[in-house]
Amino acid sequence: FKLGEIGHYKSARCHELDEMLGDTLVDIMKLESQILLRLVQFIQQRITPIHKLVKKAAELDCLIALSSVARENNYCRPELTTSRILEIRGGRHPLQELCVDNFVPNDTLSGDYYTLLKIITGPNSSGKSVYLKQVAVIAYLAHIGSFVPCCSCKIGILDHIHTRIQTVESVAINISAFVIDLKQMLLSLYNSTPSSLIIVDEFGKGTTEIDGLALLASCLDHFLSRDGKCPHVFAATHFHNVKNLIRESKYLKLQTMECLFDDDGTVVNLFKLKEGSAESSCALAVAESILGTATSARAKEFLNTIKNGKEINISANSKMAVKEKKYKDLAQKIITADYLDHIQIELLNCLCNEI
């Protein structure tokens, strides 16, 4: 017989087995279907207790995981209170500390006995974003019943945790990244209460510097206008002069990430939060370690030119500029030379060498 494009042959013994056993594959498939059907019926009859069992197993799995992590990484038991306070001593980021050899802990103090709105500045890659996420994660872990990564923790009950940290863009939602940022801030402004925690990381960077600075200052000023009803606000920014635009308030505190400078100007981040305000983000110094000396040196020239209000020399300090100067000097020699034969030969040889 032929099956597809392949021919098959049966011996007399094959015909005997066909008569004795028949088509066993069909019998196997029929038996599998019967077993599967009985299993489905068994589960359907007991679906409610199975759901409860799975839920309890998942809860137990989460509790065991939280307990194991707390024991292995030296977490502490948080103290939850009805007073409005956020007091974290020696706080650590639970994931970041697993990725580095030495994680630098930082304190967080916010509430009625402390200030409520913190403006955090500092160089690029100095740890501002990690610190903001650290505060939010510790607060969240405390509220779900977990131990937290710090030396001690006292947290008042929070009703909301609002963040403006990461912008996830997608063509499906058909709005720009800047509009997404605005919508996130909208929730923070009008859905927050005195018992809310608000984390803002570089809001305003999605538009021009002036517009972004104005928007950030307006939002922070709105929070300060609530006086004692201001929520816990932690805002990191590279707009260093935002402090000059908002109102003075006893609930406002300026903080910065500490850093040092080597003799060659290299930034050494200490990742330690201290009181004060940074004067520069040290972006060019950070960029030099990644982009290289040539690119960062050119960026410094552009920066100095912009500060001094001079015209930018597009070809300065480039290989093209060096070649251009040589060609101009050579052309000047040709123009000013007396056209004697030996001079012409010399100039032509020089031209060939330069090219």
pLDDT tens, N- to C-terminus, the chain (355 residues): 777 788 888 888 888 888 887 777 888 899 999 999 999 999 999 999 999 999 999 999 999 999 999 999 999 999 999 999 999 999 999 999 999 999 999 999 999 889 999 999 988 888 999 999 999 999 999 999 999 999 999 999 999 999 998 767 666 677 888 888 898 999 999 999 999 999 999 898 888 889 999 999 999 999 999 988 999 999 999 998 899 999 999 999 999 998 887 777 677 888 999 999 887 777 777 777 677 777 777 777 777 777 676 666 655 555 666 667 777 776 676 666 655 555 566 666 666 666 5
Model-wide pTM > 0.85 = no
Query: Which CATH superfamily hosts domain 76-261+268-280?
Result: P-loop containing nucleotide triphosphate hydrolases (3.40.50.300)
CA angle, residues 314, 319, 323, in degrees to nearest 5: 100
Residue 113, amino acid: Y
CA pair distance 203, 166, nearest whole angstrom: 10
